[in-house]
Structure 1
Amino acid sequence: MNIDQFTRNAGQPVRRFEYDDRSLLAVDFGPETDASVDLVDDTVIVVLADDQYEFDLPEWADDAHTFMKNGVLTVELEAEA
């Protein structure tokens, strides 16, 4: 599943921010959401209550960092040099 399919299926708004050396994806699950995120190889895994969602990072992403704060999932992707 890619990020577009993930947000469309889960009904979550997503914002993309493009910078010279990186891209940022932010998915808002709402402030009352008890969710967790993990990154395994090139797959982002989000666990939300009894549901688990997985989506693959783009092939061009050289390095990725993920975190969840106040119900917002942030995925920071560093572009290849």
Structure 2
Amino acid sequence: MNLNQLADGDERVVREYRYDDGVVIAADLGPVADADVDVLADTAIVVTGTDGDEEQIEIDLPGEDAEVFMKNGVLTIELEDEA
């Protein structure tokens, strides 16, 4: 999974947490009022900003079973361990 594009924005913090049963990736997109995330197959598409000043980031997911959601400007990707 390539998260470099997501971490390139000003004041963005991206963290990866590894647990026994999977991985959680959390990205603080900052004080964005308008941010949406959609998942198409194995790609998460994050759109931030408003009309005329939008940024689209595509994140390749390692499979179609990832849980992806956004709350209060924080993008969360949950991946189950494939063991």
- TM-score, with length taken from structure 1: 0.81
- Structure 2 counterpart of 1:66: 68
The alignment partner of 1:2 has SS state of coil
- Structure 1 counterpart of 2:25: 25
Total equivalences in the alignment: 78
Identity among equivalent positions (%) equals 51
Write the letter of the residue equivalent to 2:9.
A
- 4+ residue runs over 3 A deviation: none
Cα RMSD (Å)? 1.9
- TM-score, with length taken from structure 2: 0.80
Report the Cα distance in structure 1 between the residues aligned to 2:74 and 2:57, rounded to whole angstroms.
15
Task: Please tell me whether Structure 1 or Structure 2 has the larger radius of gyration of its CA atoms.
Answer: 2
> Which of the pair is proportionally richer in helix?
1
Q: Deviations over 1:15-65 (max 9, x none)?
A: 11111111000000124432011111111100001111101023xx56200
Unaligned stretches of 5+ residues in structure 2: none
Q: Residues 62 and 23 from structure 1, CA distance in 2 versus in 1: closer, same or farther, beyond 3 angstroms? A: farther
